[in-house]
Homo-oligomer: A and B are copies of this chain.
Amino acid sequence: MIDTDTYAMAEADASAISLGPIGVFDSGYGGLTILRELRKTLPEYDYLYLGDNARAPYGSRSFEVIYRYTLEAVKELFARGCPLVILACNTASAKALRSIQQRDLPGIDPTRRVLGVIRPTVEVLDNVTESGHIGVLGTPGTVASESYVIETGKLFPGMSVAQQACPLWAAIVESSEADGDGADYFVKKNIDALMAKDPEIDTFVLACTHYPLLMDKIRKYAPQGIRILEQGQLVAESLKDYLHRHPEMEIRLAKGGDVEYLTSENPEKFDALASMFTHDGVASKHCALD
């Protein structure tokens, strides 16, 4: 529910504050699947996407490295005027979000916000599982963080969460091999290993933003009747709800439906692969991150 008084007050202040886009950060290209759904559900806002492609993938890196890289990216998006940043990367959300949210960061406006993709995903689990047994497919970093296990335990203590690392899936997608026959072995291997951990699983969480591009293969090797959760729409619905509940943030967002892309890599290189994720032309600019 919206608190109308707060909303009116926030609106009265709008002329005094500078508006900025919603920042969307990912280690590489995967976050573009989240951005696509954000733009479908919330087309009125401006977006600024930042991909750290010069240092991607994050999936196998340590906590220390992921925290440092993610913090650099968040600071960059804040410096470019974003009042709100979505970490559209499970590895960054799993390893860096809590530390960034909990620490006072020197020189950073404390009214700005950073949101992740894990909480919105976990929140819907009780609507989709019947057995109460969840299977999480993610990068080695996301799995090692145990974030899905911990978050699910907080919201739904009765649920059982089994996890499986899929170290090659993101690389297969980025090598344009998602539809090739070579993907089958690795998709089947990791799904079989997950089901062996808990045969009662009735819901898969695709806990990496690259994995929706492997959906055909995942359906092929998933047991009949398994529900498969993609994050893009869940994150978009969750953000919509968040902005209803936080008019003081909503009022700070620039509206116009514009989207801009930044990459730490060579922009031409980024644009060529990005269109596979956006289904649309992309013209990015370079942004140094270190």
Contact = CB atoms under 8 A, between A and B. Distances in A.
Interface in A239-271: 264-266, 269
In which size bucket is the chain A interface? 20 to 34
A216 interface: no
Nearest to A55: B55
A172 B168 contact: yes
Interface stretch (A59-67, A123-131, A156-164, A274-282): A59-67
A189 interface: yes
Contacts of A264: 65
A61 B268 CA distance: 12
A117 to B, nearest CB: 23
B54 A61 contact: yes
Interface stretch (A180-188, A201-209, A217-225): A180-188
Nearest to A68: B54
A265 B185 contact: no
Interface in A50-96: 54-55, 60-65
A175 interface: yes
Given A60-B174, A182-B189, 9 more contacts: A54-B61, A54-B65, A55-B55, A62-B266, A65-B266, A180-B185, A181-B185, A182-B185, A185-B185
